[in-house]
């Protein structure tokens, strides 16, 4: 039990020597250290799962998760241990604000991969829908690529067939008129096959001849264009057959699926927000605990120790300054002696 307590003290960034002098502070720092430690554990799980989605390899994912967890643990430990209690809330809050922002960012980074794992079944179902939608988009893109040329050919074939239909309709009308002239139901209303009938029949025969020539020409063109259309349809079918149902399983696709689910389902959206808020609360808890807690014995002892260090450092600086001045004085004496010696030599030589 003592080892666990010491470990959590170390996780909180507290000094065990000082904490042993104030047992009443022990539980607070054990709680802070435990929060920092388990945040690192969550970061390990989150990072491992995120990288497993990318590489689909347990070893790589585990190694990265360990590195990521240790990094988050170290940052959290620094955030907590670097805060100092001075009894002035506004000043302490200004010092804590950047740490709170950093803790919120870290909590979002940790929470997202774990959300993906929590909603994994729902996300997999949504990914199947997204895959079908993507395949449909690809098919539409292929269809649009050939659509213009197909419509042009179909329009040309329709025009050619319409010409034949119009000519056929004209011929049939002329034949009907000639027949009515022959049986006395139309035209001159006289039943005979005289000159008027012959003229009307000749008109019908001329149009029929034109129809035969037109049909021969247009049908040949229609056949050629229908072959072109069949070739385009075959090429389009080949392109569509080459399309495959894209497998979506990466982090980006899963985040998109989670976003779509949150928009579709109010329950999933709320659950996602609650998970995020939970991790924000866990990540920022040590900072807020130190921020709102009053100054305790540990803070006073820590301030005394740091003040003692500052005094010792000031004394050492003072001693070093005095030695430096003494050395400068000695150097000046040596320089003076050197100058006097040179002057004496010059006098003797003259």
pLDDT tens for 169-202 read: 888 887 787 777 666 555 555 555 566 667 777 7
Q: Is the dihedral of CA 119, 124, 129, 130 positive or negative?
A: positive
Query: Same domain for 287 and 140?
Result: no
pLDDT in tens, 81-128: 777 766 677 777 777 787 778 778 877 877 888 888 888 888 888 888
- Under a CB-based contact definition with an 8 Å cutoff, are residues 174 and 204 in contact? yes
Do residues 182 and 197 lie in contact, with contact meaning Cβ atoms separated by under 8 Å?
yes
On whether both 119 and 267 belong to a single domain, the answer is yes
Q: How many domains does the chain have?
A: 3
| Dihedral sign from CA coordinates of 319, 325, 329, 330 | positive
Whether 338 is covered by a domain: the verdict is yes
106 and 139 together in one domain: no
pLDDT at 181: 65
- For residue 148, being part of any structural domain is answered with yes
Whether 31 and 56 map to the same domain: the answer is yes
What domain range includes position 147?
A: 135-242
Q: Are residues 20 and 84 in the same domain?
A: yes
Residue 350 predicted with pLDDT over 60? no
**Same-domain status, 176 and 233:** yes
Give the integer Cα–Cα distance in Å for 210 and 216.
10
Please indicate, yes or no, whether residues 121 and 156 belong to a single structural domain of this protein.
Answer: no
CB contact burial 60-84 (16+ within 10 A = b; e otherwise): ebeebbeebbeebbebbbebbbebe
Assess if residue 130 is contained within a domain: no
Residues 289 and 332 in one domain: no
**In a shared domain, residues 112 and 260:** yes
Name the token pair of 151.
């419509």
């Amino acid at each position: 039990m003592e080892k666990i307590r010491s470990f959590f003290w170390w996780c909180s960034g507290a000094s065990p020597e000082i904490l042993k002098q104030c047992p009443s502070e022990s539980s607070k720092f054990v709680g802070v250290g435990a929060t920092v430690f388990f945040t690192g554990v969550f970061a390990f799980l989150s990072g491992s799962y995120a990288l497993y989605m990318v590489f689909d390899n347990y070893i790589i994912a585990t190694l990265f998760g360990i590195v990521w967890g240790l990094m988050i643990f170290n940052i959290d430990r620094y955030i907590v241990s670097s805060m100092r209690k001075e009894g002035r809330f506004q000043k302490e809050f200004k010092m804590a604000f950047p740490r709170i922002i950093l803790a919120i960012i870290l909590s979002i980074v940790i929470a997202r991969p774990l959300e993906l794992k929590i909603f994994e079944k729902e996300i997999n179902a949504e990914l199947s829908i997204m895959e079908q939608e993507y395949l449909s988009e690809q098919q539409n893109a292929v269809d649009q690529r050939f659509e213009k040329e197909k419509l042009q050919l179909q329009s040309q074939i329709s025009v050619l067939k319409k010409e034949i239909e119009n000519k056929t309709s004209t011929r049939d009308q002329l034949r009907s008129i000639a027949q009515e002239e022959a049986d006395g139901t139309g035209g001159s209303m006289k039943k005979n096959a005289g000159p008027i009938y012959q003229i009307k029949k000749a008109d019908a025969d001329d149009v029929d001849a034109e129809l035969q020539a037109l049909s021969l020409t247009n049908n040949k063109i229609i056949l050629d264009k229908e072959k072109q259309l069949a070739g385009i349809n075959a090429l389009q079918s080949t392109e569509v057959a080459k399309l495959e149902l894209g497998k979506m399983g990466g982090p980006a696709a899963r985040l998109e699926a989670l976003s779509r689910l949150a928009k579709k389902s109010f329950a999933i959206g709320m659950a996602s927000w609650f998970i995020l808020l939970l991790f924000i609360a866990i990540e920022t808890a040590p900072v807020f605990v130190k921020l709102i807690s009053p100054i305790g014995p540990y803070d006073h002892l820590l301030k005394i120790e740091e003040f003692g260090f500052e005094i010792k450092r000031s004394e050492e600086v003072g001693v070093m300054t005095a030695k430096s001045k003494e050395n400068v004085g000695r150097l000046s004496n040596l320089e003076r002696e050197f100058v006097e010696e040179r002057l004496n030599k010059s006098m003797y030589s003259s």
